[in-house]
Amino acid sequence: MNRKRKNEIKYFYQILSDIKNNIDTLIKELYENQNNLEFYAKSKPVILKSKYPDLKKLNILKKTSKWEITDIGNELLNIYGSKNKDQYQKMIASILGTYSFNGFRPYAVLCKFLFLKYGVDKYWDRDEIKNFLSLPINEIIYYTNNEREPDFNSLVKSNMEEAMRPYSYWLNYLKNAGLAIQDENGEKLNSNVKDFLEIFFAEIENIPRHKKDTERNKYRIIGRGLDQVNFRNELLDVYEGICAITGKYFVFKESNLLEAAHIIPVSHGGSYDVNNGILITSDLHKALDSGAITFDENYNILIDPRVKEHDYLPKIQKINFLPKDTEFYPSLVSINYHKEYIFGRGVIASINN
Q: Where are the domains of the chain?
A: 3-200, 224-342
Closest CA to 164 of 8, 17, 5: 17
Q: Which residues pair with 63 in a beta bridge?
A: 67
Q: Which residues pair with 101 in a beta bridge?
A: 104
Read off the pLDDT of each residue in 145-156 and give the average, rounded to a whole number. Answer: 71
144-164 exposure pattern, b = at least 16 Cβ within 10 A, e = fewer = bbeeeebeeeebeeebbebbe
Q: What is the pLDDT of residue 350?
A: 36
- How far lies 47's CA from each of 36, 42, 56, 81, 322, in Å? 13, 7, 12, 22, 35
Helix residue ranges, H only, the chain: 3-8, 12-16, 23-32, 37-41, 45-46, 52-57, 71-82, 85-98, 106-118, 126-133, 137-146, 157-162, 167-176, 192-200, 209-210, 216-219, 224-238, 282-290, 332-337
Residue 204 has pLDDT above 50, yes or no: no
Percentage of the chain exceeding pLDDT 70? 84
Task: For residue 298, name the pLDDT band (cuts at 50, 70, 90).
Answer: very high
Q: What is the pLDDT of residue 238?
A: 94
Query: Residue 2 and residue 67: Cα distance in Å, rounded?
Result: 19
Closest CA to 114 of 262, 12, 211: 12
Whole-prediction pTM: 0.82
Residue 214 has pLDDT above 50, yes or no: no
